Amino acid sequence: MMNSPDHIKLSDIKKEALEAEKRIREHIRETHVEYSPFLSQSGDCNVYLKLENLQLSGSFKLRGVMNKLLSLAEKERKIGLVTASSGNHGAAFAYALKKLGLKGTIFMPSISNQAKIEGLRYYDAELKFHGTDCVETEVFARNAAGKNHLQYIPPYNDLKIIGGQATIGIELRKQIENINTVLVPVGGGGLISGIAGYLKSIDKNIEIIGCQPENSAVMYESIKAGRIVEMESKPTLSDASAGGIEKGTITLDICKKYVDDFILVTEEEIKEGIKLFLEKHNMLIEGTAALPAASYLKTIEKFKNKNVVLILSGARISLDQLKEVIS
């Protein structure tokens, strides 16, 4: 049973984060923080990169998935598991199933990237397709799980998922002595809800900034409207954050309360972010992971003399996308 959005407090997220830390630590990688000389010098500040692009399964998503699965009773895990994803959450789900010896089904939008579909075929999870937008697929998968008495594992709309992502905040507190600002990619809001909830439970002065593509800024527009809005998303290199958001998601209220600002970036700015990491850090990241760097460079004067963290959320970029970026 999910908590009502109005009743989720910082203390709730902190509690979930600390429980998740104990539960999932042996199953995930504590990702390194890397100092960026180029970005730091460019903004006359200190910029640190949280390398979730090096997380097992290729993104931060494994934290939330593993926490949700391990929090279930044994019989709940064994009756069958269902999720919906067009990419990183599905990869994390498939990886976790194999690691824990479980069976499950992944529902994907019918227009999912072929490279991501092929990547999931290496695991034992069954793939099914429905709808053309991620939120349409999520609703269908949740209903299918309910009708068949199976356990649904949501991509973001669940306090256990958020608690798993919040373990990034726990690691950051150990790795960086004084954090002023954290820039976080935003799709459904699970990652930023966890990071904001945990860090602000420790220090409310830490600034949390959400980063989204102009072509699919659903969370930003929803916060402005005070409700989840239905809007058409244009194609974006930040495909891991693109698409609609499930109605009633607990992440909307958490983001509204604890995210201090949003920065929206263009497709060209995302391309430049990806190229920057190839050139300056010899590092491959996906479009969504480039959002914080693109946002930082767009508003660089804001960060002078600050300690800034950029969350590099994942590495799962397709060859076609990479060709588009470097052509």
Q: What is the 3-state secondary structure (H, E, C) of the chain?
A: CCCCHHHCCHHHHHHHHHHHHHHHHHHCCCCCEEECHHHHHHHCCEEEEEEHHHCHHHECHHHHHHHHHHHCCHHHHHCCEEEECCCHHHHHHHHHHHHHCCCEEEEECCCCCHHHHHHHCCCCCEEEECCCCHHHHHHHHHHHHHHCCCEECCCCCCHHHHHHHCHHHHHHHHHCCCCCEEEEECCCCHHHHHHHHHHHHHCCCCEEEEEEEHHHCHHHHHHHHCCCCCCCCCCCCCHHHCCCCCCCCHHHHHHHHHCCEEEEECHHHHHHHHHHHHHHHCCCCCCHHHHHHHHHHHCHHHHCCCEEEEEECECCCCHHHHHHHHC
Q: Which of 36-50, 106-120, 237-251 has the lowest mean pLDDT?
A: 106-120
Range of the domain at 196: 5-60+160-326
* Res. 122 pLDDT band, cuts 50 70 90: confident
**Domain match, 266 and 120 both:** no
CA distances 278 to 88, 205, 238, Å, are 21, 33, 17
**Domain match, 16 and 92 both:** no
**Domain match, 127 and 115 both:** yes
Stretch 201-230: mean pLDDT: 97
**Domain match, 52 and 127 both:** no
**Domain match, 82 and 54 both:** no
Strand order in the sheet with 207-213: 33-35, 46-51, 307-312, 181-185, 207-213, 261-265
**Domain match, 112 and 248 both:** no
165 has which bridge partners? none
| CATH code of residue 278 | 3.40.50.1100
pLDDT reported for residue 116? 77
As for how many domains the chain has, the answer is: 2
**Domain match, 179 and 137 both:** no
* Res. 3 pLDDT band, cuts 50 70 90: very low
184 has which bridge partners? 210
Stretch 218-246: mean pLDDT: 93
pLDDT greater than 70 at residue 194: yes
pLDDT reported for residue 6? 55
Last residue of a domain, one of 124, 156, 188: 156
CA pair distance 273, 286, nearest whole angstrom: 10
**Domain match, 188 and 80 both:** no
pLDDT reported for residue 121? 83
Last residue of a domain, one of 112, 127, 156: 156
Q: pLDDT digits over 154-178, tens only?
A: 999 999 999 999 999 999 999 999 9
pLDDT greater than 60 at residue 84: yes
pLDDT greater than 60 at residue 5: no
316 has which bridge partners? none
**Domain match, 182 and 288 both:** yes
Last residue of a domain, one of 134, 156, 178: 156
**Domain match, 177 and 219 both:** yes
pTM for this model (two decimals)? 0.95
pLDDT reported for residue 45? 98
**Domain match, 73 and 216 both:** no
